[in-house]
Structure 1
Amino acid sequence: MYQSYAVGLDETQESKSAYQTYAVGQDAYQASESGHGPYQPHEPGYGLYQPGYGPYDDQIPDPKSRMLAIQNAKAYLLKSSTTSGLNLYDHLANVLTKVLDEQPTNAADIIENISKDVKWAQFQKKMDTLQDEHDILPTFEAAEKRKALFLKGNGEDEELEEEIGETPLPNVMEMAFYFEQTGIGLSKDEFYHIFLALKKLISGQPIQSCRFWGKILGLEMNYIIAEVQYLEGEEETEEEEISEEGGKEMGEIEAEDEDEEKEKEDEPPKSTYQPPPAIPKEQNGTGANKYVYFVCNEPGKPWVKLPPVTPAQIVCARKIKKFFTGRLDAPIMSFPPFPGNEANYLRAQIARISAGTHISPIGFYQFSEEETDEEEEGERATYEENPDFQPLSVDEMVDSLSTWVHHTQSILKQGRCAWFNPFQKSEEEEEEEEEEEENTEEPDEIQQEIGPPLLTPLSEDEGIQNIPAWTAQPSTNLIPQHAVAVLRSNRWPGAYAFTSGKKFGNIYFGWGHKYIPGNHNPTLPPPVQGEYPSGPETTETRDPTLEEELAFKAAKEEALAAAEEEEDEEDIEDEEEEDD
């Protein structure tokens, strides 16, 4: 019995020694691979050895528990990342596969780079379920759009050599240089792109003069604006819509007249209100439509010509305040309703800003001497450059606003630069109305609006409460010999002007809104219209009751009976007189 116990003990010791040998081998292998002994509790590999089953324990580990620990560890390694979607098990397997396939020298030193390469190779582009990510970057798209600006056409160099002295292309970079000294303007790259865009515009249009007007900001996109004047006779004329009615025969006309008379008898009374006559727009090349404006959202995009402005659009634009979206076809939702879309509203704001902020040094322009007496008596609308202009110093241009003048006509309350009498009629209409003067009443005469004449000094501009209309200052006080005089409009924030010697310029960068001291108060809707006045002609009578109808019939019968008796008595009296 002792022998059997000893044999069992020997077998137990042998199995234990075998396990210790296996554990020592595993530890030696791990030590050779990782550089340290058995895993400690704070190390990641400690979970493979459950408590009570370590290599130094007295009991033999259970294979099931060991497999469970291995499966739990593998499940943890197979857990996918919430950001990249990868798991550590596959990543380590791919890294080891790459190391064994390539067998680089000093693999331990470059294992981080190998891991990055494996991740980059497995990278997949993120795709949204609603909209795929753009394949083309925005910077690449912008470069492709502006690429055409830097390309030359065939024979373009020869044309430039012939017309280099008469080109209408403005020197945008020179203007940018002067405005940069005053701290105003865009980046040099954007200015140069606009320069090339204006060159492309001039090449495709019969243009006499061109100028970079400015940039109006929008919520979605911005507007780059070019001011253009066409050559004489080259401007596109708008087609007038003429309504043509077909002729009718005399019989049809008479029948229609009879039907109209019958309808008039049954029609209810109509209102005698007549809306005021519409004010026509000014002709192209005059007044608010003196210049033509082209806009684009970015340099490289096609230029779009804005339509002419009408007086109704200018009058309505003064009553509303809307931010631009950058889309010309966007509707204008406002009260009072604006007659047009965003392109018309943009054109109206450009006309208002130009009329109030385009200024020049005094004496730079002068009125032409070849003017008729009528033009001298009325407002002068034309001027020319003064060849004998002598510029003033920067200090003089800054100290007094009387050294600056407006060279753009102001817009009247009517919405036109030149006043129009809506009740003025032609000779034929006057002859026709002379016959009907007795039955018609003459409308009240309208007083003619008179605005400030051209080349009016800025000192006459009205301020905004306690704020002057303009602020003048030099570009620098450290080097006054080379300073530039700059003016900033307080009525239209974003409008600037500079002068340096015989050169001056105007530009606008802003939202296209006029300064308001207080909050913007929209126009209130008109009061509710009163009810139509009731009268005997329009008031319906009450229906009689049955008793009233019977009483009316009885009274009518009595009246008929009394009339018959009177007639009988008169007949008897007449017969008696005849017998006598």
Structure 2
Amino acid sequence: MNRMDGNQDRNEQRLQSAASFKAFMLKNSTESNLNLYDYLTRLLIKVMDERPKNVVDLFEDMSHDMKRGLFEDYQSTLRDLPQTTAAELLADQQCLLFSWLEGAEQEEELVETPFPNLNEIGFCLEQAGVGLGREEMQRVFLSLKQLADSQALLRCRLWGKILGTESSYIIAEAEYQEGEEEEEQSTENAAEEEEREARTQENVVDPLPQLTNSPPPVVPKEAIGTGSNKFVYYVSNAPGLPWVKLPSVSPAQITVARKICKFFTGRLDTPVVSYPPFPGNETNYLRAQIARISSGTQVSPQGYFQVGEEEGDEEEEAPRNSYEINPDYEGIPVAEMAESLSTWVHHVQHILQQGRCTWVNLAVKPEEESHEGEEAEDREEEPDEPEPEVGPPLLAPLSQDAEMFNTPPWSSKVSSTLTSQHAIAVLRSNLWPGAYAYACGKKFDNIYVGWGLKYAGEGYSPPVPSLPQKEYPSGPEITEAMDPSLEEEQALKEAFEEQQAAQEEMGDSDEEEEDD
């Protein structure tokens, strides 16, 4: 009986192990969605049908052929097309810069080009140790040519490149044309009319209480073609991409831009989140920084420009804001320009604290407001006129520039001391890192390649924490004593009573002696 029970148990175990192994063979693969049981069944059926010789040697090849046949319907000989990258798209757009019609060069030889020779400028900038590189400079040169042809610009030059966190800005500087001033004024007037209509509608629906304290007057924007709006600027993220014209800058934007420090993203429609709040988006912030950089770093050799004579200026003390090329300029030696800052001058007007290049008196009211004020019975006394703000004159030498954070505003050098006869004078701004100028003979140029931020001094380093205070000095006066026992208290009490008794006896004896 025991042997029969043992054989029965073994058979049951074998059946269970066979069932579990069959379940394992029926498990589908995650890659091919096949199971070993069906695969072996098909392979054995194939062996039974074909009955090849030396089946042991051909078994692996038959398995490989059968597996290839199973996946033949699902495989394809065609490859997936790779996705076009951003670099390839940019290359396709830059290919258009190198293609133009035949005969265009012959026509251009007869007409004066509106932009300088960037190849020569790039070579000089390479000697100065700055620039965009020959390949990118050539692309920028062709892109400026495309801009000048499409916009019919009279003069166009490469202002520089401002770096951003996502992409950069290539900036071109051009002169205003006669039709652009009317277009910008019309757009500004339309925006002002929309604001007025919105205010009137709000007042009709729900009139708000009038404030007794009037807000400070708004500093008016400088006229187009003068001051900080003397030139128009176009920006592009890369050569070959479309150029975008920047709007004119307002004094409020320049004033707030002086108080904030923000990196550029490379997208013009990005809002500028800062405190104090900036009146505009990154387009306006970029235009304000361009005006500030141009005002502080656009320099030229002394004598290259001369102050122009404006018609209708009767007052001799009126500041001059225009200049013209001096035809009698003969050039300054390179060694002298590298040693002395007095040989360099600013040919862009200084921006005052008011946010304008020319000061305007805000205390003077317009004619309409003055008539309304006269009709009012309670008229306040007019305040004293403020003192006009005066900045450095045009074509002021760089030696008059003030230091900031114990740092000289400029650094000058010669491009090469080995071949000084072919070297150029290089000037670098320390207050606007990235601004460079070079001069050689009768040629000079300015360029800016940087983050568009002004030098703000060394980084803040927190003070070293003071030394930790010492522990309170321990001594018998402050050390906590152990509580005495009952026997010690009684002994102390008896000693204290004996001491008092002895003192009383001594006092009685002293009184008796005094009586005697």
Q: Deviations over 1:414-467 (max 9, x none)?
A: 000011111213456545545558632213422211111100000000112321
Equivalent residue for 1:468? 408
Aligned-residue RMSD, C-alpha = 3.8
Find out whether 1:324 has 2:272 as its counterpart: no
Partner letter of residue 186 of structure 1?
Answer: L
Equivalent residue for 1:175? 121
Distance 2:63 2:265 in 1: 52
Equivalent residue for 1:287? 227
Higher RCO (C-alpha 8 Å, min separation 6): 2
Find out whether 1:228 has 2:168 as its counterpart: no
Find out whether 1:350 has 2:298 as its counterpart: no
In the alignment, which of 381, 387, 399 is matched to residue 459 of structure 1? 399
Distance 1:507 1:364, change over 3 A: same
Find out whether 1:160 has 2:100 as its counterpart: no
Q: Deviations over 1:368-423 (max 9, x none)?
A: 24554446411101110000102111110011100000000010000000111112
SS in 1 for 2:131: coil
Q: Percent identity?
A: 53
Distance 1:230 1:156, change over 3 A: farther
- Larger CA deviation: 203-212 vs 305-314: 203-212
Distance 1:520 1:307, change over 3 A: farther
Distance 1:96 1:515, change over 3 A: same
- Larger CA deviation: 481-490 vs 433-442: 433-442
- Larger CA deviation: 284-293 vs 271-280: 271-280
Give the drift of 1:162: 3.0
For the Cα contact (< 8 Å) 1:210–1:229, is it kept in 2?
A: yes
Distance 1:122 1:289, change over 3 A: same
TM-score (norm 2): 0.69
Which ranges in structure 2 are unaligned for 5 or more consecutive residues? Answer: 1-20, 33-59, 66-74, 198-203, 462-516
Distance 1:95 1:498 in 2: 77
Equivalent residue for 2:90? 142
Equivalent residue for 2:380? 440
Q: Deviations over 1:77-131 (max 9, x none)?
A: x9979xxxxxxxxxx979987xxxxxxxxxxxxxxxxxxxxxx998976xxxxxx
Give the drift of 1:280: 1.1
SS in 2 for 1:226: strand
For the Cα contact (< 8 Å) 1:206–1:234, is it kept in 2?
A: no
Distance 1:352 1:520 in 2: 25
Find out whether 1:296 has 2:244 as its counterpart: no
Equivalent residue for 1:219? 165
In the alignment, which of 183, 203, 207 is matched to residue 237 of structure 1? 183
TM-score (norm 1): 0.62
Equivalent residue for 2:497? none
Distance 1:243 1:122 in 2: 66
Larger Rg: 1
Distance 1:361 1:375, change over 3 A: farther
Find out whether 1:392 has 2:332 as its counterpart: yes
Q: Deviations over 1:509-547 (max 9, x none)?
A: 0000000114489xxxxxxxxxxxxxxxxxxxxxxxxxx
For the Cα contact (< 8 Å) 1:209–1:230, is it kept in 2?
A: no
Partner letter of residue 326 of structure 2?
Answer: N
Distance 2:179 2:374 in 1: 40
For the Cα contact (< 8 Å) 2:115–2:145, is it kept in 1?
A: yes
Equivalent residue for 2:218? 278
SS in 2 for 1:176: helix
For the Cα contact (< 8 Å) 1:210–1:228, is it kept in 2?
A: yes
Partner letter of residue 453 of structure 1?
Answer: P
For the Cα contact (< 8 Å) 1:206–1:231, is it kept in 2?
A: no
Equivalent residue for 1:199? 145
Equivalent residue for 2:255? 315
For the Cα contact (< 8 Å) 2:359–2:388, is it kept in 1?
A: yes
Partner letter of residue 447 of structure 1?
Answer: E
Q: Deviations over 1:102-161 (max 9, x none)?
A: xxxxxxxxxxxxxxxxxx998976xxxxxxx96113332121111211121476345314
Partner letter of residue 110 of structure 2?
Answer: E
Find out whether 1:513 has 2:459 as its counterpart: no
Partner letter of residue 136 of structure 2?
Answer: E
After the TM superposition, which residues 95-134 of structure 1 pair with which residues of structure 2 at under 5 Å, given as runs?
none
Runs of 4+ in 1 over 6 A off after TM superposition: 78-81, 92-97, 120-124
Distance 1:170 1:94 in 2: 75
Equivalent residue for 2:440? 500
Equivalent residue for 2:418? 478
Partner letter of residue 272 of structure 1?
Answer: T
SS in 2 for 1:237: helix
Distance 2:127 2:63 in 1: 59
Equivalent residue for 1:489? 429
Partner letter of residue 432 of structure 2?
Answer: W
Distance 1:390 1:80, change over 3 A: same
Distance 1:220 1:428, change over 3 A: closer
Distance 1:495 1:314 in 2: 19
Distance 1:399 1:462, change over 3 A: same
Distance 1:368 1:218 in 2: 38
Distance 1:95 1:231 in 2: 81
Find out whether 1:411 has 2:351 as its counterpart: yes
Partner letter of residue 302 of structure 2?
Answer: I
Equivalent residue for 1:21? none
Give the drift of 1:351: 0.2
SS in 1 for 2:155: strand
Distance 2:157 2:149 in 1: 14
Give the drift of 1:237: 2.6
In the alignment, which of 245, 261, 267 is matched to residue 305 of structure 1? 245
Equivalent residue for 1:107? none
Give the drift of 1:485: 0.5
Distance 1:235 1:151, change over 3 A: farther
Distance 1:326 1:94 in 2: 62
Which ranges in structure 1 are unaligned for 5 or more consecutive residues? Answer: 1-68, 82-91, 98-119, 126-132, 247-258, 522-580
Partner letter of residue 384 of structure 1?
Answer: E
Distance 1:440 1:139, change over 3 A: closer
For the Cα contact (< 8 Å) 1:206–1:230, is it kept in 2?
A: no
Give the drift of 1:192: 0.6
